[in-house]
Amino acid sequence: MANHLFFPLLVPLLSAVLATLVGQRRVIARSIALAAVLFDLGYSIWLLFAVGATGRMVTQADDFAAPFGISLVADGLSAIMLTLTSIMMLVTVLYSFSTVSPYRERYYYYPLLLLLLFGCGGAFLTGDLFNLYVWFEVLLVASFGLITLGGERGQLEGGLKYVVLNLMGSTSFLIGAGLLYGVAGTLNMAHLAERLGTLQQPGIVTAVAGFFLFAYSSKAGLVPVFFWLPTSYHTPTVAVSALFSGLLTKVGIYALYRVFGTVFQRELERYGTLILVIAALTMVIGVMGAMAQVNVRRILSFHIISQVGYMIMGLGLVGVAGLAAGILYMVHHIVVKTALFMIGGTAEYLAGTGELKQMGGMARREPILAGLWLLASFSLAGLPPLSGFFGKLGLIQVGLDQGQWLMVGVAAVVSLFTLFSMLKIWNEVFWKRANVDQTAMPRASALLIAPSALLVALSIAIGFGASPVLRYSRYSAEQVFNTQSLVQDVCGPAGCDAVTSTANNQ
């Protein structure tokens, strides 16, 4: 039993409690948050190597045997996501030190961040479908707090849309979980994977899987249900929106990978084409929506939607290769998107506005910032040797192997349009001559630039070290699809049904 799996959850939780109780002084709250995040980062990097070396790690909360209690399962995908979450949280906390107003900090900003880390960690580690729902709620409640913290009019408006539409998704998740429990009699993912393979009524399961598809799509910002994202992501402080841009929608993608890759494998084959259609529409509509926008963070928000399409394309190209490419793309995306939000947000913070028309001259004034932007946006568009190139290359290769010509074409064209949008921001914010007097504008301090520089460096590192990352994502994709070994790891060699029938006979 890998009992240490509880630590990345307990440390943020207890730190959030501590920061609420004794964090009146800002220094104390900051150091508690930083310490907890650093612990999680260290732990998750260790987990990444440990899982890579020994395979899945499992523990059962409360010491109940597997299908009865709550299992925590860490495999490659969980470890990747946990590591990325901690990295994003670290840069966000560092970035917050210089940008978040003392007023917000006093109103439990750091405890909320820690609770968000707690919720994300739980969602990535749980091996139980209902528990996944609970973790989703934990992280959503924390994010509701973060998105409205400060109480500005725009924030409340964006927050309301965010809350309402996310609750719709959660309801659908809950309905799906209830129906699935009625059909299969369990919600442990390993047990579900075992039972759904032998179930006699496949039609019902397909319908139930539809509920899950809808629920996770609305969390991930896929096409019919994406509109909450661009209306809310540009409203909170830059640090918060950078964190959300990298993390939150990707929790939805993670859930899709996990649940459709492990639990609903047969349904994934049925839904494959539909998922590809959704992916194509998401890419196109996201990138088109971005072209109409004139606000830095709104443009970037629409690009999140378009990029999420690529990740779903990885799932829609049913199979290990597709999923591996999707995971690689997700790794790249989380890093680069957060970097772009931070750089764009810093420019916005310095200029005092996010409207493209009123900005300009940033390249002359802040050359380092401009250089970082150029690197990050080229990476997003997929220019070699940056990380985005390998992400897209993987997806396109798999698509070509499977003969999905249309999908591959859409993916390639959309990246051109992505480059177009990024160059639009480049021209308006960085390159064109400033049309206002900039002498009074504040300078970017090292603390403002360092977090995004770290992320851009990471993106370059992923680009140059693509082969180990690719190998690891392939390894994780295999683990996601390998239900047989999951059942054995979670419930023991005889399987979950054997455990329940022994318990019934006693």
Partner 1 sequence: MYESMILRTIARLMLPLLLLLSLFMVVRGHHLPGGGFVGGLLASAAIILQIVAFGPDYAREIIPVNYLRVAATGVGFAACWGLLALVQGQPFMAARWLDTPIPGIGKLGTPVMFDIGVYLTVIGVTTQLALVLAEEPTLYPLRRSPPPQTEPMAPEA
Which parts of this chain interact with partner 1 (CB under 8 A)? 1, 3, 6, 10, 13-14, 16-18, 20-21, 59-63, 99, 101-103, 150, 237, 349, 352, 442
Closer of 65 and 393 to partner 1 (Cβ): 65
Distance CA 245, CA 227 (A): 14
Question: In whole angstroms, how close is the CB of 189 to partner 1 at the nearest point?
Answer: 18
Report the distance separating Cα 146 and Cα 122, nearest Å: 19
Which of 247, 233, 312, 295 shows the shortest CA–CA distance to 424?
295
CB 101 → partner 1: shortest distance, Å? 5
The β-bridge partners of 74 are 57
| Dihedral Cα 121, 124, 125, 131, nearest 10 deg | 100
Nearest CB to partner 1, comparing residues 153 and 433:
153
Report the SS3 class of residue 59: strand
Name which of 49 and 103 has its Cβ closer to partner 1: 103
Please say which residue, 219 or 298, places its beta carbon nearer to partner 1: 298
Query: Are the beta carbons of 89 and 46 closer than 8 angstroms?
Result: no
Cβ nearer to partner 1, comparing 244 with 257: 244
CA distance 331 to 145: 26
Specify the residue, 244 or 349, whose C-beta has the smaller distance to partner 1: 349
Are the C-beta atoms of residues 354 and 467 closer than 8 Å to each other?
no
Longest dimension (CA), the chain: 81
12 DSSP assignment: H
Least distance between partner 1 and beta carbon 239 (Å):
11
Tokens found for residue 22: 């004794």
Minimal CA–CA distance to 469: which of 186, 122, 52, 87? 52
Q: Which is nearer to partner 1, 26 or 424 (CB)?
A: 26
- The pair of structure tokens assigned to 177 is 């979980």
Shortest distance (Å) from residue 485 CB to partner 1: 21
- C-alpha torsion 167→170→171→177, nearest 10: -170
Q: Provide the minimum distance between the beta carbon of 457 and partner 1 in the complex, in angstroms, as a whole number.
A: 27
Residues 6 and 300: their CA atoms lie apart, in Å, by 35
Tell me the closest approach of the beta carbon of residue 99 to partner 1, in angstroms: 8
Bond prior to 8 in cis (omega within 30° of 0): no
* Closer to partner 1 by Cβ: residue 352 or 409: 352
Q: How far is the CB of 103 from partner 1 (least distance, A)?
A: 5
How open is the CA angle 74-19-107, to the nearest 5 degrees?
A: 115
Q: Token pair 């459709």 is at which residue?
A: 260
Spatial distance between the Cα atoms of 171 and 181, rounded to a whole number of angstroms = 15
Supply the minimum distance, in Å, between the C-beta of residue 408 and partner 1.
43
Query: For residues 429 and 347, is the Cβ–Cβ distance under 8 A?
Result: yes
Pick between residue 154 and residue 202 the one whose CB is nearest to partner 1: 154
> Could you give the CA distance from residue 106 to residue 348 in angstroms, rounded to a whole number?
23
C-beta closer to partner 1: residue 101 or 427 = 101
**Closest by alpha carbon to 474, among 373, 325, 351?**
325
Q: Determine the Cα–Cα distance for residues 290 and 171; give it in Å rounded to an integer.
A: 29
- Shortest distance, CB of residue 107 to partner 1, whole angstroms? 8
Min dist CB 429 to partner 1, Å, is 17
Closer to partner 1 by Cβ: residue 237 or 404: 237
For partner 1, the closer of residues 24 and 427 by Cβ is 24
CA dist., res. 366 & res. 347, Å (int): 9
Which residues lie below 8 Å from residue 66, measured CB to CB, with a gap of 6+? 60, 188, 190, 191, 490, 491, 492, 496, 499
- Judge if the upstream peptide bond of residue 67 is cis by omega within 30 degrees of 0: no
Q: Which is nearer to partner 1, 97 or 431 (CB)?
A: 97
Which backbone phi and psi does 233 adopt, to 5 degrees?
-70, -20
Please give the single-letter amino acid code of residue 48. Answer: L
- Nearest approach in angstroms of CB 96 to partner 1 is 12
Closest approach of partner 1 to the CB of residue 154, in Å: 12
How many angstroms from the chain centroid is the CA of residue 326?
A: 12
Shortest distance in whole angstroms from residue 231 CB to partner 1: 20
Do 41 and 83 touch, CB atoms closer than 8 A? yes
